[in-house]
Amino acid sequence: MGLVFFSLALLTFALCQWSPGVNNVARINLCLSLLLAHLLFLLTQQFLSLIRPHQVLCAVISGVLHFLFLSGFVWMFIEAVLLFICVKNLSQISSKKREVLSSGFLCVIGYTVPLVVVAVSAVVDPKGYGSEE
């Protein structure tokens, strides 16, 4: 059910723009991150007997799941910041909003922060992803 509604939300945000000033990048990427995370989780559970013997594959899947769920949280934070700027109508930030909060910059922040966290986690505790259980 979750995959269906994430797909519908993703289509809605991608195809429908209420206003040219509204930036749907955070919402689209949030839905995409959570959709992929749930899909990978469900596929992992479905093919658990094939994945379990390969500890490296298990570790990679764990790292990707960690990355996708963290990116979901980062995109929620970005959406909260954008909503705060919109509601408060901050004149100094609003005038620079197009430059500072461009779609490309938001994508870099939305995916780089989780990538750094996962990389640091993997370096600090290499056996932390994947286990015999």
Instruction: Read off the pLDDT of residues 5-62 as tens digits, 9 standing for 90 and up.
Output: 989 998 888 888 766 666 788 889 999 999 999 999 999 988 888 877 888 888 899 9
pLDDT of res. 95:
52
Q: Flag whether pLDDT at 94 surpasses 80.
A: no
Q: How confident is the model at residue 130 (pLDDT cuts 50, 70, 90)?
A: confident
In sequence order, what are the residues at sequence separation of 6 or more whose Cβ sits closer than 8 angstroms to the Cβ of residue 51? 44, 57, 58, 61
Residue 7 structure tokens? 């797909």
Distance CA 70, CA 11 (A): 22
pLDDT of res. 34:
94
pLDDT of res. 100:
58
pLDDT of res. 31:
93
Q: Flag whether pLDDT at 117 surpasses 90.
A: yes
Distance CA 101, CA 99 (A): 6
